[in-house]
Chain A
């Protein structure tokens, strides 16, 4: 097992690097898959590991998109004038301006989203269970509505970003795929380490019984704020990248897409298995495949099918794939078996 593990990870890494060349027609879909993976993994940090089910993590995705775009534009032009022209052709970006703007924009998106999560956390972390879910959902919807009325960032029209330099659009697809992949891999490595630390043990304690955790001397609010901020940092970066990938985005349907991506990430995690390292990833892949298939074969009814998938997953299959495996093959999970009742928050049957 100990020898197999590095080989497995190296093979996986090789596959990630080679994937856009194995399936060159699916480069955009693969990049989208990375968005799902990143968002599910970060959602699981609070939802699965800490027991705080947020329905509003999409807020950081939208905010990251806007922050990255605004910072990237402001490096060369006045943002108000730029959005006023709605992406008219008079604004040219040199390669340096484009990449420097993007780099600064992504950093700003990550850091500021972490800040937003910190402030929002102060307001919302006193809410428990369903109230937290509704509160975060409300915050995300409110953010979308407010941004769509904010003329300086383009209002309901959204922002049109500069196009990737060069004529060959395949280069852009590859570039964004690898940008997402790097973010995702960094996030995975970070979480793999993070979930072994005492800090992760503390947030698991919060999930299992917050009152007892506090009685044991944990400063629970601080743990919750830090965890949510880390999650928001990665979501913000993912949002920033997808803003540049989409080129044009608008607030309600693309950036703060509460009822689409905002709920899909939760379903991905539930499908794969809450509170596990691999669950969100497997769930994201499964969900994305189902989504693409329904898109192709059920044109028009795809959203209905996805809604039905959400209901079915939540009602009949809430333990997810990993939870199911843990029940059927407990020996695969070693010591984790004893944790099982706490994971689901209720008896398994």
Chain B
């Protein structure tokens, strides 16, 4: 308890620490937002709540890590993870997701939970249960008398994540496929009537989601660490963000992603690093509860 008060005191004594925490939070939050955007896409278009989201992220990280182990420039790992995860996403769609789209939501939730367990265990067998990271030979920038340190690797990661997000948004807005995806999200039946091959749209959306997650993972492994069983917390964070922001609300997803990154950093600063996972999950309960109260005022339930 004394330690907690001491940690809070530190925030007021040295206001510059707040800035450091915020910066850290926003940088990791950008990657949460990326994974959450993928989830919002799949959720909105095909009404599948993908609990394997975080495991796609971690898998992408391991692809980049494997390339790095074989002496390939780590930044090339990002497109590589994007492509490989695209294929894995497509296979997953054909084998499993395709058969749960029309079913009730609990089915897709449970099926993807099973997938999450499988992915995590396969990665555990292939890469071992140690935490892994890629060392980039990049300098660290210091501001404000060394109080704030920003590793270039994190900066590069965030910039890459933002440009990827921008590219995806542009694609959704401009391209023919993007239009088809948005049309299917609005009304799948009408889209089918108007000649859109919805099955193709679904498989494309799910593959795109897996690829986005894979790229996010490849960025995460450069600046942070990954471990086979970290996936579930990334899934939970993606759920927190989408539940807080709502579907089809892109600025909301970005804001919620950055906010959750910052809140988590504050939480682990105040309560200690051991609580980081707990904070991520408690935020989920908090967001669900707030949404619940909002709905209750309208005499509705969250469903």
Contacts and interface: CB of A to CB of B under 8 A. Distances in A.
Contact of A146 (B49, B99, B118, B278): B278
13 contacts: A128-B302, A134-B49, A135-B284, A141-B232, A142-B281, A145-B278, A301-B121, A301-B125, A304-B122, A307-B116, A311-B114, A314-B100, A318-B107
A308 to B, nearest CB: 6
B301 A126 contact: yes
B163 interface: no
Interface string A89-128: 0000000000000000000000000000000000110111
A142 B121 contact: no
A262 B107 CA distance: 16
Given A131-B288, A311-B111, A304 B118 contact: yes
B103 A310 contact: no
Interface in A33-53: 53
Nearest to A127: B302
Interface of B: 49, 96, 99-100, 103-107, 109-111, 113-122, 124-125, 232, 236, 239, 243, 272, 274-275, 277-278, 281-282, 284-285, 288-289, 292, 295-296, 301-303
Interface string A125-154: 011111101110011011001101100000
Interface residues of A, number: 43
A221 B296 CA distance: 14
Interface string A282-312: 0000000000000000001101101111110
B281 A145 contact: yes
A145 B229 CA distance: 14
B285 A138 contact: yes
B210 to A, nearest CB: 16
A316 B114 CA distance: 13
A259 B109 contact: no
A101 B128 CA distance: 41
B282 to A, nearest CB: 5
Contacts of B96: 311, 315
Contacts of A138: 236, 281-282, 284-285, 288
B262 to A, nearest CB: 20
A345 interface: yes
Given A123-B289, A146-B278, A310 B284 contact: no
Interface of A: 53, 55, 123-124, 126-131, 133-135, 138-139, 141-142, 145-146, 148-149, 258-259, 263, 266-267, 270, 300-301, 303-304, 306-311, 314-316, 318, 345-346
A270 to B, nearest CB: 8
Instruction: Output the residue of B103, B281, B295, B296 with the most chain A CB within 10 A.
Output: B281
Nearest to B289: A123
Contacts of A307: 114-119, 121
Nearest to B106: A53
Nearest to A139: B285
Nearest to B277: A145
Contacts of A258: 232
Contacts of B114: 263, 267, 307-311, 314
Given A134-B109, A138-B284, A145-B281, A128 B303 contact: yes
A210 to B, nearest CB: 8
Given A145-B277, A315-B96, A133 B236 contact: no
A191 to B, nearest CB: 22
Contact of A149 (B103, B118, B278, B295): B278
Contacts of A308: 114, 118
Closest 7 CB pairs of A and B: A310-B114, A307-B118, A145-B278, A128-B303, A303-B121, A307-B117, A311-B114
Contacts of B292: 123, 126-127
Contacts of B281: 138, 141-142, 145
